[in-house]
Amino acid sequence: MTMIVLGSALGTGLFLGSSGAISLAGPAVILAYAIGSLVAAIIAAATGEMAVRYPVRGGFGSIAGRYLGSYAGYLTRWAYWTVTAVITGIELVAVGTYLQYWWPALPLWAGVAFFGLVIIALNVRSVRYFGTMEFFLSSIKVIALLLFVLIGLALIFVGAPNHPATGIANLTNDGGFMPTGFHGIWLSLAVVMFSFGGIEMLSISAAEAKDPVRSVRASTKANIWRLSTIYVISLFIVVSIIPWQSAAQLDGSVEASPFVLVFSEIGVPAIASITNFVILVAALSAANANLYAGTRLLHSLATEKMAPRQLARVSAQGIPVPAMWASTSGVLLAILLAVFQPGQAFGLMMTLTMVCALTVWVLILLAYIAFKGVEGNSSAFRMWGGRVTAGAGILLLLAIWAALFARTGNVAPASIGVTYFFILTMVYFGVVKRVHTGFEDAFAEADAAVAANSQD
């Protein structure tokens, strides 16, 4: 479960998206990622506390439905399904781009289509098979990031043969630590938070865990510390070794990735190919994890008549195959992006993703506040500060929402996201509200499972 969350959260947003955040905040991007880590920790802790108490089908969406009303549950899960579908496509476009480093003549759509079939094959098998493969894929990039941290810190404070220690002078060169002021940090958060997408995914996988109480509690604690440490230290290393204005001018190509440039400082042979492989695995792992989450979300929506009932069917192995095929709409979108200028389309889809993700996170924290008012401290895992911490998280998310609209060129795509929510709302009140069966069956199953585990 820990690796499934890391598989989603450690993807293209970190390896290639970090240069965009650096261009907005300069070396102070370290503070932006620290703030982002704090917000992500609040979301993860709140989600974890609710999932430990109720490891229900549909995860935080079902919990939002119970404590905020069926409309909130519907909106939360459809918004999050949209996030997972679009990110699946974005990550596959990245995979296809990385393949072109070795085979420039390979059509982008071919790489997207091939690896789209790969993650479909992984998801159509049993949950145990999927979990094993996701553990393997995530382990590769986690190990690579740990090596990056160790080598980077050595380059900063110790040095290497033919490479004296760089120190931390680059943190204050070229305009100081905050060359664009607090305004730049604020704007960069709209990019930074894209990197943390997936932190809430453990709630989706809780319903299929053998021992959800133990698994979710351990996974929540592990991810809070690991993600915050990896992101903050990694960006500290990048802006300490590479002048921030150089990192800000990167165009997202493999050769120019901030992480490639840092490794290149020690002259490792074939460093571009090695890093290209790691980044490809990172993107493939994130696509795999997001398809998994989207499938479970859509299946739960269909089970409760918030989506076409055909999507509620499962295979003999218990896999919701129809929901999985519907969730591959992101793969189809990725193929279209690969044909029609994917570089320009990426920004549009990232903004749409952030509009949906920020809405989901706010609803999660609102559901948590309502959950605490009813359940109190009944969960075996509790977030420090409870409702006060959740309230602070909501204020930070609203500030990031404002930054999303304030960024140049974002108004139009962000408005598309708002229009999408308006359409979802019309569908709910026009169709879904009359046929929705409620959330209580899922909660009854969760209560029975928790009681059984307690007796064991």
Place of tokens 């894929």: 137
State which residues form the domain around 7: 2-450
Q: What is the mean pLDDT of residues 28-56?
A: 88
From 37-46, 167-176, 322-331, 342-351, the region with the lowest mean pLDDT = 342-351
Q: How many separate domains does the chain show?
A: 1
- 371-378 LR contacts (CB < 8 Å, sep 24+): 371/49, 371/50, 371/53, 371/63, 371/67, 374/67, 375/53, 378/53
Query: What would the two tokens of residue 350 be?
Result: 């990232």
CA distance 357 to 199: 11
Q: Provide, rounded to the nearest whole percent, the portion of the chain with pLDDT above 70.
A: 79
Q: pTM for the whole thing?
A: 0.83
Average pLDDT over residues 282-303: 82
Q: What is the pLDDT of residue 388?
A: 95
Residue 155 and residue 262 in contact, taking contact as beta carbons nearer than 8 Å: yes
Domain-embedded: residue 95 = yes
**Contacts (Cβ under 8 Å, ≥6 apart) of 142:** 3, 6, 10, 226, 230
Model confidence at 262, pLDDT cuts 50, 70, 90, reads confident
| Side-chain-facing half-sphere of 260: CA atoms under 13 Å | 22
- What is the tens place of the pLDDT at every residue in 140-175? 777 877 888 888 888 899 887 777 888 989 898 888
Q: Is residue 427 part of a domain?
A: yes
Q: What is the pLDDT of residue 114?
A: 93
- Contacts of 246 by beta carbon, 8 Å cutoff, 6+ apart: 261
Residue 231 is assigned to a structural domain of this protein: yes
Q: What is the pLDDT of residues 307-336, one digit of tens each?
A: 888 888 887 777 888 999 999 988 888 788
The answer as to whether 8 is a domain residue is yes
Q: Following DSSP, what letter does each residue of 370-395 receive, concatenated?
A: HHHHHHTT-SSS--TTHHHHHHHHHH
Q: Answer yes or no: is 456 within a domain.
A: no
Q: Is residue 134 part of a domain?
A: yes
The answer to whether residues 43 and 192 touch, using CB atoms and an 8 Å cutoff, is: no
pLDDT of residue 5: 62
Sort 377 into a burial class: Cβ within 10 Å, 0-12 / 13-18 / 19+.
exposed
Domain contains 220: yes
pLDDT at 390 over 90: yes
- Asked if pLDDT for residue 8 goes beyond 70, the answer is no
Of the listed ranges 182-196, 246-260, 385-399, the one predicted with least confidence: 246-260
State residue 180 phi and psi, 5-degree precision: -110, 10
Return the closest-CA partner of residue 167 out of 178, 149, 179, 152.
152
The larger pLDDT score, comparing residue 256 to residue 416, is at 416
State the residue for tokens 């929510």. Answer: 421
In a domain, 410, yes or no: yes
pLDDT score, position 254: 46
CATH of the domain at 12: 1.20.1740.10
How do residues 215-227 score in pLDDT, each as one tens digit? Answer: 777 777 776 777 7
More confident residue, 9 or 301: 301
